Amino acid sequence: QVQLKESGPGLVQPSQTLSLTCTVSGFSLTSYSVHWVRQHSGKSLEWMGRMWSDGDTSYNSAFTSRLSISRDTSKSQVFLKMNSLQTEDTGTYYCARNFDYSGDYFDYWGQGVMVTVSS
Amino acid sequence: DIQMTQSPASLSASLGETVTIECRASEDIYNGLAWYQQKPGKSPQLLIYNANSLHTGVPSRFSGSGSGTQYSLKINSLQSEDVASYFCQQYYDYPWTFGGGTKLELK
């Protein structure tokens, strides 16, 4: 069955780099895009970027200068790296998938990982 | 960026009632719209895509409609398990953007 699971540190110091991993099962990263979406304290959602099924990436320009998304298809993992973290980056980070040949709506989401940026 | 304005921000309704949530886009999004339900402490779950297509396994009391810049999610015969927050998302133009959410409670 389709699963996505985020993992990473719950606490990051200001100005440091956030590294998260999304481990997927039940589908292939070469057929589906995986996106990163974050949410501040139950408030609205913010799309950050995506890893396409062909290995290309797209980013929200609000994050372009400090966000990087990569993957390891052999491990079924997609990675998020974001540097220069500030307290405003505190929130829950989700990975979600969509089929590249349909609209970019997300039919499966991970459980999310809560990240706090604090010294 | 396309702005998605969702209304109301919160809503209180009785069991069995029909509820409608609206989403207005700052420009035409040509039905590139999805609706999600999020229960406390859980991740969002897809309800509707392409403005009016019901996702697999979603109860038929949920429906989506609209076109252009105006879209709505309707819940017929409200059930207790429908208590949640609801978000719209446009995927017509990058970056994908979400509405501010509607928190639905029972009266």
Q: What's residue A101's pLDDT?
A: 83
Q: Are B65 and B71 in contact (CB under 8 A)?
A: yes
Digit-coded pLDDT (tens) for A76-113 = 999 999 999 999 999 999 999 999 888 899 999 999 99
Average pLDDT in the A4-12 region?
96
pLDDT at A68: 97
Does A23 reach chain B within 8 Å, measured CB to CB? no
CA–CA distances in Å: residue A111 to residues A12, B26, B77, B86, B95: 20, 30, 29, 17, 23
Supply the pLDDT for residue B11.
Answer: 96
**DSSP state letters, A71-117:** EEGGGTEEEEEE-S--GGG-EEEEEEEEETTS-S--SEE---EEEEE
B97 vs A47, A105, A107: nearest CB: A47
Q: How far apart are CA A68 and CA A112, in angstroms?
A: 18
Q: Is the pLDDT of residue A61 over 80?
A: yes
Nearest 5°: the CA angle A28, B90, A99 is 15
Residue in B closest to A44 by C-alpha: B100
Reported as type and span, the H/E element at residue B19 is strand B19-25
Say yes or no: B95 contacts chain A, CB-CB below 8 A.
yes
What does the pLDDT profile of chain B (107 residues) look like in tens digits? 999 999 999 999 999 999 999 999 999 999 999 999 999 999 999 999 999 999 999 999 999 999 999 999 999 999 999 999 999 999 999 999 999 999 999 99
Residue of B40, B43, B100 with shortest CB distance to A109: B43
Name the residue facing A104 among B36, B45, B91 (closest C-beta): B91
- B100 contacts in A (CB within 8 Å)? 43-44
* CB of A76 closer than 8 Å to CB of A23: yes
Question: Which residues of chain B have a CB within 8 Å of the CB of A107?
Answer: 46, 49, 55
- Given a contact cutoff of 8 angstroms between Cβ atoms, the answer to whether A113 and A93 are in contact is yes
What's the gap in Å between the CA of A105 and the closest CA on chain B? 6
Q: B30 at the A interface (CB within 8 A)?
A: no
Would an 8 Å CB–CB cutoff place A111 in contact with chain B? yes
pLDDT tens across A25-41, in order? 999 999 999 999 999 98
- Whether the link from the prior residue into B44 is cis, omega within 30° of 0, is no
Nearest Cβ partner for B46 among A43, A58, A105: A105
Q: Which two tokens stand for residue A60?
A: 């929200």
Residue carrying the six token digits 């897809």: B46
